[in-house]
Amino acid sequence: MLYPEELIEEIRTQNNIIDVVSEYVHLAKKGSSHFGLCPFHNEKSPSFSVSEDKQMYYCFGCGAGGNVYTFVMEYENYNFVEAIKALADRAHIQLPEMEYSDAQKKELSFKQRLLDANKEAARYYYYQMMNDPKKKAITYLEKRGIDEINRKKFGLGYANFFRDDTYKYLRSKGFTDQELFEAGLTAKDKTKQESYYDRFFDRLMFPIFDVHNRVIGFGGRVLGDNNPKYLNTGETKLFDKSRNLYGMNIARMARNKKLIIVEGYMDVIALHQAGFTTAVASLGTAFTTGHASLIRRYAEEVVIAYDTDDAGINATLRAIPILKKAGISVRVLSVEGAKDPDEYIEKFGAKGFADLIERAEPSFMYEIRQLEKTHNLKDPEGRTNFDYALAKKILTLENEIEIENYLDAVVDKYNIKRSAMESLLGKIGKNIGIASQPKDQSDGVTSRDSKDVIMRAQKNMLTLITSHQKVYNAIRELIKPDEFSDNTYRRMAQMVMDAYEKEEPIEPASLIQQFDTIEEQNKIANIFNNNMPIEHAGQFEKMIRENIQIIKRQHIEQLSKQVNDPKQLQEMINMKRQLDSLNISLD
């Protein structure tokens, strides 16, 4: 924590969530809560609820939720420190000056100098573009159809032909050789000791901004005969190409949960100019987990619109599993009739591209279509190999509903007998240890509970505990925090159980505050807004018992994988059996 926890809590309590949210959303009181149209997704009927008692908000449509800090972070796209400062200012609370060591001060000062150098370079490149007598950059941009508004919007510029022009200019502004080199603006001259020259020359310049609109690097497109065609800033203290996306500083402000990923700078600019303001691009590198993490902060769905050549197809196939692992829904756009989105818009217009996005196919079907290209389906052996590969691909799906839906889709598309494919799935699944298990009749759930079932059980159990202290009193000896497999739920269980043991009140807004990311805060808010209708005491006790059984069964299975001692394994088997006779009484 940069600031004391007590101060953060004071700032929160001084900013009533109803007052803060009302500055952004029109709210109408309905019962004990206030409702309005959710600012985080498009809706016509209000499903966005704000509770003054709990000092939290929750959208029953998209699942966004949290306390006043979460709201400001989500709406303004602030990080936590920025949200603290904004709300402190709103409440007229003076924040203390942060104390830094001499080493920290030196590091922060140096990074700021690099940012200042990049900012000054961007200004100079823009000046050069506007005053170049040959108008090389402007002519190129006009030829590509990029208007003046978007040239300014993206801060485009020109690094002229002379190899030391930018270097001399920035030196005249007081920047040192070391600062310019560390910022990635210059390179060392190998033929002359302690001599530097411009990294970029005779190039159209694309400033690269981080999500806070700070220039952290550049991309340069050659306008002469030099190579390579595109050149980026190398890795610096500011610039990590594996964690930044071109155009994200603008795309995030659209507050649209769907992003479009394209390959290059010009694709991004062309799409924004055509009205598709959620387009971003990776920076001359393969798509990474860092890119996926950045996207996850702002979007839930991605449409990949890479080029249609082999390199674009391979890049798409590499990006899909990375995005899906991050919990992002993925669709793939096939840019037919053009080599890239920029050319497609030029040929068919914005309406044509919008229609193309609507027809983007689910990533799984795209992967299957690419798999089909590697097999000769007219040849019996090729068809057999394809069916096997198809079955293995289906078995990579984790969600049972997904498996059913895509099984229906591929059976229909490739004219396969469903019974034959189901038999093949069972055979392959058994060999690799992931075949579905028979149902355990004792509690109506599969003996190998799916990830979704386990997560739901943990969420439900926390909802029951936080809503009813008598539930905690009844189960306190039956389940412990470390039996919750999900990290966020485990932390939440520990905090709630500790609060009950200390006889402290359960305060939703304060508990949410203990989690750093918006994703975690949304998750915790969902616990307090998890609708679990209960008709009678017997049903209540059954619900508690089944959730505990699922959580403990999964915990025992995980422990059993870590032991080899026969006696310990037998103990775990007995523990698992005892779950069937678990008794819960709320009397």
Q: Show contacts of 164-167: CB within 8 Å, 24+ apart.
A: 164/196, 164/197, 164/198, 165/128, 165/198, 165/201, 166/121, 166/124, 166/125, 166/198, 166/200, 166/201, 167/196, 167/197, 167/198
- Is 451 found in the same domain as 421? no
Distance, in Å, from the CA atom of 516 to the CA atom of 512, rounded to the nearest integer, reads 9
Q: Are 122 and 70 within one domain? A: no
Instruction: Say how many CA atoms lie within 13 Å of 525 toward its Cβ.
Output: 29
Q: Are residues 422 and 502 in the same domain?
A: no
DSSP states of 63-113: --EE-HHHHHHHHHT--HHHHHHHHHHHTTPPPPPPP--HHHHHHHHHHHH
Nearest to 202 by CA among 232, 170, 162: 162
Question: Is the pLDDT assigned to residue 345 strictly greater than 60?
Answer: yes
Q: 95 in a domain, yes or no?
A: no
Number of separate domains in the chain: 5
67: domain CATH number is 3.90.580.10
Q: Give the pLDDT confidence of 216-261 residue by residue, as tens digits.
A: 999 999 997 778 899 999 999 999 898 899 999 999 888 788 999 9
Per the structure, the complete domain to which residue 488 belongs is given by 445-581
Weakest mean pLDDT among 315-324, 370-379, 434-443, 577-586 = 434-443
Residue 40, both tokens: 């985080």
The residue-averaged pLDDT of 448-453 equals 70
Query: In 394-428, which positions are buried (b, 16+ CB within 10 angstroms) versus exposed (e)?
Result: bbebeeeeebeebbeebbeeeebeeeebeebbeeb
Query: Alpha-carbon distance 166 to 120, whole Å?
Result: 10
What CATH number corresponds to the domain at position 175?
3.90.980.10
If asked whether residues 249 and 347 sit together in one domain, one would say yes
Would residue 239 count as lying in a domain? no
Instruction: Answer with the one of 391, 409, 436 that is the final residue of a domain.
Output: 436
**96 domain-assigned:** no
The tens digit of pLDDT for each residue in 152-177 reads 999 999 999 898 999 999 999 999 99
Q: Of 90, 116, 134, which residue sits at a domain end? A: 90
Cα–Cα dist 197/190, whole Å: 10
Regarding whether 464 and 571 lie in a shared domain, the answer is yes
In a domain? residue 98 = no
Q: Is residue 97 part of a domain?
A: no
Shared domain check, 574 and 456:
yes
- If asked whether residues 353 and 396 sit together in one domain, one would say no
| CATH number of the domain where residue 521 is located | 1.10.860
Q: Are 404 and 462 contained in the same domain?
A: no
What's residue 259's pLDDT?
Answer: 96
Whether residue 288 is contained in a domain is answered as yes
The verdict on 110 and 213 lying in the same domain is yes
Evaluate if residue 436 carries a pLDDT over 50: no
Q: Would you say the C-alpha torsion 6, 8, 10, 13 has a positive or negative sign? A: negative
pLDDT for 552 beyond 80: yes
Q: Which domain-ending residue is among 65, 90, 115?
A: 90
Same domain, residue pair 552 and 463? yes
pLDDT > 70 in the chain, percent:
94
Residue-wise pLDDT for 130-147, tens only, equals 999 999 999 999 999 999
First to last CA, the chain: 43
Helices (H), 395-443: 400-413, 418-432
Residue 533 in this model has a pLDDT that exceeds 90? no
Does residue 191 sit in the same domain as residue 216?
A: yes
Instruction: State the angle between helix axes of 400-413 and 363-373 in degrees (0 to 180), rounded to the nearest 10.
Output: 40
449: pLDDT confidence band, cut at 50, 70 and 90? Answer: low
We report the CATH number of the domain holding residue 363 as 3.40.1360.10
Residue 237 lies in a domain: no
Specify the higher pLDDT residue, 569 or 163: 163
In this structure, is residue 31 part of a structural domain? yes
The mean pLDDT value for 294-308 works out to: 89
Q: What is the token pair recorded at 358?
A: 């609507």
**Residue 459 and residue 417 share a domain:** no
